[in-house]
């Protein structure tokens, strides 16, 4: 069991657990996620106590699930953990109770791991633009002729937008478009676009529900802009009962899906994409792709 690791990703909106063998194409034992809403109503750089408590409850359950397979547990924090002035409430609890280090990743490191998880997954395409929308930030990776040429992280996330504008779609769209202008537009002409992680996977599930499709394929599924626009129109004008029936998500995640879809549509519009492919290979897979020595460094108690 020495080669088995559990990666717990504490995001701004959800926590994910991946237990698998290290390396490429290794056996996966479990891959689950739960909405924590850690960054909900975050103000002046301070996480809400009730969100920290909820995150701790989820972490306790995930750590117990992880220990079934291995004691090698790596916990990472991303956007909200970088921003929060009181993140020590969470990191100290983790260290004191479980002697587990809380690895807060920089935006640069986050993009690196996302790229590592996906660069081989879409090698049939030579020129790619990848994006991973999180609760607090979105990471972008440009791949030209099968080589990573540029990476960038911007403070654009579904929970961050929700905190700032609640249900004001006009203001959300204005900010999304403004933030996207900080990205290089012409590094790749007509790139193949890939959406990574929670938002992209949720949209793939939503597409299947919307089209009443029997297909269970998520990884590498393709979703067109036309389909997204049709779904967006349906859910933005639908009643609560209809939304509940069509959305295969937890309630806390459902309230954010329209914001996530808005971000995807604006990304596709900015880069003139007509569709995007879905990748289930999030940051956890990129960490597992690292060398044994790099993984061991992340295990050292903080």
Q: Average pLDDT, whole number, for the chain?
A: 88
- Which pLDDT band, with edges at 50, 70 and 90, does 302 fall under? very low
How many angstroms from the chain centroid is the CA of residue 292? Answer: 24
CATH of the domain spanning 4-106+291-299, picked from 3.30.420.40, 3.40.50.10470, 3.50.50.60, 3.30.565.10: 3.30.420.40
Cβ partners under 8 Å of residue 148, min gap 6:
115, 119, 141, 142
Cα-Cα end-to-end distance for the chain? 23
Share of residues in the chain with pLDDT > 70 (%): 90
pLDDT value, residue 238:
63
| pTM score, whole prediction | 0.85
CATH superfamily membership of 122-279: Exopolyphosphatase. Domain 2 (3.30.420.150)
Identify the weakest region by mean pLDDT among 12-21, 94-103, 185-194, 272-281.
185-194
pLDDT at residue 129 tops 80: yes
Q: Answer whether 4-106+291-299 and 122-279 agree in fold.
A: yes
Q: With CA atoms as reference, report the closest residue to 18 among 31, 2, 1, 33.
A: 31
CA dist 56 and 85 (Å) reads 17
- Which pLDDT band, with edges at 50, 70 and 90, does 254 fall under? low
Map out the domains of the chain as residue ranges. 4-106+291-299, 122-279
Identify the weakest region by mean pLDDT among 92-106, 118-132, 238-252.
238-252
pLDDT at residue 258 tops 70: yes
pLDDT value, residue 244:
61
CA dist 134 and 13 (Å) reads 7
Instruction: Give the pLDDT confidence of 75-115 residue by residue, as tens digits.
Output: 999 988 999 999 999 999 999 999 999 999 998 899 899 98
pLDDT at residue 283 tops 60: yes
pLDDT at residue 285 tops 60: yes
């Amino acid at each position: 069991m020495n080669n088995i690791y559990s990666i717990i990703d504490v995001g701004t909106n959800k926590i994910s657990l991946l237990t698998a063998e290290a390396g490429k194409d290794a056996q996966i034992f479990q891959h689950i996620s739960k909405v924590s809403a850690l960054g909900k109503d975050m103000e002046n750089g301070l996480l809400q106590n009730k969100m920290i408590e909820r995150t701790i409850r989820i972490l306790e359950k995930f750590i117990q699930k992880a220990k079934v397979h291995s004691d090698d547990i790596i916990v990472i924090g991303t956007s909200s953990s970088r921003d929060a002035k009181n993140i020590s409430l969470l990191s100290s609890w983790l260290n004191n109770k479980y002697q587990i280090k809380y690895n807060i990743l920089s935006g640069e490191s986050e993009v690196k791991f996302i790229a590592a998880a996906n660069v081989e997954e879409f090698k049939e395409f030579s020129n790619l633009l990848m994006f991973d929308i999180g609760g607090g930030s979105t990471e972008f990776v440009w791949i030209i002729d099968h080589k990573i040429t540029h990476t960038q992280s911007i403070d654009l996330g579904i929970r961050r937008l929700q905190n700032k504008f609640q249900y004001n779609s006009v203001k959300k769209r204005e900010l999304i478009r403004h933030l996207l202008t900080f990205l290089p537009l012409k590094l790749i002409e007509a790139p193949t676009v890939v959406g990574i992680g929670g938002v992209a996977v949720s949209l793939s599930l939503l597409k299947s529900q919307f089209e009443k499709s029997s297909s269970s394929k998520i990884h590498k599924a393709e979703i067109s802009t036309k389909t997204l626009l049709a779904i967006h129109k349906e859910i933005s004008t639908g009643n609560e009962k209809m939304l509940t029936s069509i959305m295969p998500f937890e309630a806390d995640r459902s309230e954010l899906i329209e914001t996530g879809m808005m971000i995807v549509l604006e990304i596709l519009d900015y880069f003139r994409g007509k569709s995007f492919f879905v990748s289930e290979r999030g940051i956890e897979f990129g960490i597992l792709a690292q060398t044994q020595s790099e993984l061991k460094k992340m295990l050292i108690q903080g």
